[in-house]
Structure 1
Amino acid sequence: MEVALRKVHDSDLPVFYRQMNDPESLRMAAFTPEDPADRNAFDAQWKRIRATSVVRTVLADGDVVGSAAVYGEPGEREVTYWVDRAYWGRGIATAALRALLAEVRERPLYARAAADNEASLRVLHKCGFRESARASGFANARGEEIAEVVLKLQHEA
């Protein structure tokens, strides 16, 4: 499977909206918008993300399967990614994150994941991120405070 990144097109947004409303994906991601079904909030968030972040559409064999981004203030920038659940377990998130990290060369970069999200933690470790702290935060998708892992990529992997 060929994984590639490209700039986000307006036509990608309905796909992202659908992907980000999958109940199992939301539970796994944990730290999600308060109401992922609020389309106006989704559109406003994506307008802001596209204006202030390095954000890319993830393609697998030409199909839109997710997104990957680097956002935040210099020195504190974080990575985030989302892959459609139908494509989990195929190495797409790892390939997409590696491509994003090759494009965005600044370091350090940070990432956060629910402590029980083993798949996401595995992706981040494969891409060179290392645990730097533990924290807890309110996970909208789970309706409770949960443990989270903070990871840091100090140098190019």
Structure 2
Amino acid sequence: MKTERITLRHWLETDAKALYKYASDPEVGPRAGWQPHKSEEESLEIIRTVFNNPTTWAIVWNETGEAIGAIGYGPSCDCSLPAREGEPTVGYWVGKPYWGKGICTEALRLMIAHIRETTVIRSLISGHFTDNHASGRVMEKCGFVATGETVFDNSLHLGENRPIRVLRLELKSL
């Protein structure tokens, strides 16, 4: 999947250095509900495990060929989102130097088009911490509609529960 600025492709082990570069930033991971990476080895392990599936992609900046973030969808996470049966959860992030450039919106639109063309998925669910307004704007620009709020039991990851605004995108009528 590709646009003029970005490509969505599966993660490669050679992306570990770039992943660590952006995922070690203490302002990036906590906004998405995960701890900053502590080493390039940890980033490599994330590529080999968490990112090693057919519905998770690296967001690659075409100008440099560098992986600058991630996007994907999959089974509902352990984050208290009120997903319907079989409804995948969407997640994404980009490195701080790329914030405010419309990259997540571009990547999410690209992924949604791919889902519509290649799956029978009827709807997607996502959420953002209530203090991360930029992520909410990304979802809204892509057609997601707010459905309420819940709390992310994040005590295992960041030591606190945090409120999440829940949004859903209907892809096909039920």
Question: For this structure pair, what is the TM-score category when the shorter chain's length is used for normalisation?
Answer: 0.7 to 0.9
State the match for 2:50 in structure 1: 49
Structure 2: gaps of 5 or more residues: 77-84
SS in 2 for 1:95: helix
Aligned residue pairs total: 154
- Contact map agreement 2:51 2:57 (CA 8 A) in 1: no
SS in 1 for 2:104: helix
Larger Rg: 2
SS in 2 for 1:49: coil
Aligned counterpart in structure 1 of residue 132 of structure 2, from 106, 112, 117: 117
State the match for 2:20 in structure 1: 17
Bigger mean CA offset, 39-48 vs 122-131: 39-48
SS in 1 for 2:49: helix
State the match for 2:61 in structure 1: 60
The offset of 1:4, in angstroms, is: 2.5
State the match for 1:129 in structure 2: 144
Bigger mean CA offset, 115-124 vs 74-83: 74-83
State the match for 1:155 in structure 2: 171
- Contact map agreement 1:60 1:92 (CA 8 A) in 2: no
SS in 2 for 1:104: helix
TM-score when normalising by structure 2:
0.75
Structure 1: gaps of 5 or more residues: none
Change (3 A) 1:121 1:97: same
- Structure 2 distance, partners of 1:44, 1:10, is 9
SS in 1 for 2:38: coil
The CA RMSD measured in Å over matched residues stands at: 2.5
- Structure 1 distance, partners of 2:170, 2:6, is 25
Identity %: 28
- Structure 2 distance, partners of 1:52, 1:155, is 22
State the match for 2:7 in structure 1: 4
Structure with bigger helix share is 1
Amino acid at match of 1:62: E
Whether 1:81 aligns to 2:96 is no
TM-score when normalising by structure 1:
0.82
* Cα deviation digits, residues 57-113 of structure 1 (max 9, x gap): 212333322111111167221111111100110111100111111111222111121
Q: How does 1:32-43 map to 2 (within 5 A)?
A: 32-33=34-35, 36-37=37-38, 42-43=43-44
- Contact map agreement 1:110 1:151 (CA 8 A) in 2: yes
Higher relative contact order (CA 8 A, sep 6+): 1
SS in 1 for 2:28: helix
- Contact map agreement 2:20 2:39 (CA 8 A) in 1: no
Bigger mean CA offset, 68-77 vs 121-130: 68-77
